[in-house]
Structure 1
Amino acid sequence: MGIFSKLKQAWFGDVNWEKLDDEFFDNLEESLILADVGVNIATEAVNSLRNAVFSYDMKDPEQVKAELRKILLQKLSVGDAALDTAKSPTVILVIGVNGVGKTTSIGKLAARLKGEGKKVLLCAGDTFRAAAADQLEIWANRAGVPIVRQHEGADPGAVLFDALQAAKARDVDVVLCDTAGRLHNKQNLMNELAKLRKIIDRELPEAGRETLLVLDATTGQNGLIQARSFKETAGLTGIVLTKLDGTAKGGIVIAIARDLGVPVKFVGVGEGIDDLKPFDPEEFVNDLF
């Protein structure tokens, strides 16, 4: 992914592996902070590594690297990173502020689930943003899945109700519901999400549930603030991290997992319909090096 170039510089620079000094650990800590891991987590990780290096007299760079890999992987291990669609139907509420790639992530996820053999239905629950339903319909067509929508300004609860009725009538496996993306600190948005959950409780009480928050990796610590706000009010089950390409400071993945205890389930690595990948913590940590 190329997201930790500073970490690579710290690692492969002029390092005396026979006697690792404070400069090495300071550079490593700075690299982690610059990669948006966050100050607290960077300090914790480097202190743990320092203790291990001195306790076990590590002099081999591969051994030190393996130890840091283990430390970071532990911080990412906060729950099942797999999407739970075992129950049929499963209703997935997709939330997040405008501009993070929410609608495109829904389209990509629909294509992925359809490719797994599931019957997927999209619900255009963001009725507040102009042309949001039109944008979602374009992605529905790309993914080859049906969509339930109403006119702009319609009641999102009414759109979800129609989608759930359609899901029951058509034996749909997964309902993917777009939601309004107004600012995360607006109480009316949180009230709207609570109303949507009540409709699911009433119409499909046995349905599986996921609530995925879409975050833009390039927003760094601001994304973490958004995630905290949504977790407090929306009951998150997972994160979809978009724009995790060669320029993104992807350490935010570790910060989210460690601070919120919410697993990252998917990462967006490009613009194509197949560029939403299941998140593999071990693969991610290996890519850092």
Structure 2
Amino acid sequence: MTGKSENTPKSRALGAELRECRFETGLTQQQLADRIGVSYVSVSRYETGSRSPKPEDVAQLLTVLGVTGDRYSRLVDLSRGADQPNWLDTGQGIRKELTRLIEFERTATKITDVAIGVIPGLLQTADYARSVMADMATDEIEPYVAMRVGRREVLHRKNPINFDAFISENVLRDRFAGAATMLEQLRHLESMAELENVTINVIPAVSERWHPAHAGAFIFFDFAKTTPMVHLEHYASGVFLYGDDEVSPYRSALATLQQVAMDRDQSAKLIATTARELEGADP
């Protein structure tokens, strides 16, 4: 088998799904490698995304793993163009979207989430997440919530990622989830902000200058050994940017937002004040 060295978002997403398929069979990387006639190093590189297999290679892997039907077709199709730096992901259901995000969160050293419409996913409570997903099919909501809550593990593991969040002040005051749920969410933010590896900066609702957050939300991923990546989430699709020319402006945008946003202590005080106001106490 041959393939190209990538570490692109699409090759890493494909690798995560191939690893999931292998786990379901109970095979080790060495056992799978023996069955398809390659070294376990090749299998490892495919699963990490550092080398993307060709569609025909993916087809062989899936056949050995017993993957058939729609899943087989989808993964072979996912392998096409995996060497391209940027990726428009139209998604294949909420589980597959989260499989991809979980993979990037798991391997990142730092994540910076610029949240303009909702609380960042890694900081959401279960009830808040249910409210965000209110227009989804009923049978998808609970699996999504379980996976979203499970994603918090990267913030609490032995070597946790560093997580920075820029949250619009308007997000803190929005009550689409209901007052009780929003109060619980604000209290959760207070608790999370106490972690050494988590920094929350609030972007004031009123600004006298244009800044990058006016252009929309995005998530910036830093990795130890590969190029940074940016995720742009839309209503029914997402875009992953990987090329240096595409990613660099977002790095500059974060520097600008650092100047615009409240600092860590100011942000913590505003979150606490907003929570007190919501529960009817004196600010």
TM-score normalised by the chain length of structure 2: 0.26
Larger RCO (CA within 8 A; separation ≥ 6)? 1
TM-score normalised by the chain length of structure 1: 0.26
